[in-house]
Amino acid sequence: MTYVGRFPVTSDISGITQSEIRAVIAHEIQLYQNQLKPLQGTVVPRFVGLWGGGPGEVEEVWCAMYEDGGMLLPDWQRANLTYHPWHKDTFWETLSLTISPSDTVRALYHALHDAGVLHGDVCWRHVLRSGVKLKLVDFDQAAVRGPTDGDEIWAMSCAAEMEDVERMLRNGGKW
């Protein structure tokens, strides 16, 4: 939920204004209604709708509603992403993964890239566990592949983001 009144009308040291926060909300909703639509429920949580109120008698508030995306992975789970059949970790066993958890995270980002989206803010707080699935959230800094982005430029952009993913995976809970 975003309380727009908490942001200044004009720029100050916080760096974001009310009109800019509205644009951020609209950007994420647009992504969920377009590029992320086929990924909902598998790679990203399902978008349920947008509720808003104000301005007027009540303060302006916006609430984007999604299915429960899950919980943050605790540090110990982030630090132990290598799965081996002999590794007896009940968390990873319950995932019933056919590939390692780190490969699952990579696959989430590859699916995002295949849909024409760069996340733009690779970090563990955007990887959630929902039951036996991992999902990505928070697309306020995401970029969409434009009509003039050639295959080579897009591939370079995706490769750069995957370097961030690899850095996150190597650093476990420290990223």
pLDDT at 8: 59
Q: What is this structure's pTM?
A: 0.81
Domain that holds residue 95: 2-174
- pLDDT tens digits, one per residue of 37-73: 999 999 999 999 988 776 655 567 778 889 998 998 8
Amino acid 64: pLDDT: 85
Q: What is the pLDDT of residue 12?
A: 58
Task: Give the whole-angstrom CA distance, residue 81 versus residue 104.
Answer: 10
Read off the pLDDT of residues 145-167 as tens digits, 9 standing for 90 and up. Answer: 998 889 999 999 999 999 999 99
**Beta-sheet pairing, 127-130 with 61-66:** unpaired
25 or 46, greater pLDDT: 46
Higher confidence at residue 61 or residue 1?
A: 61
Phi, psi at 23, each rounded to 5°:
-65, -40
Structurally, the chain folds into a number of domains equal to 1
- 119/12 Cα distance (integer angstroms): 27
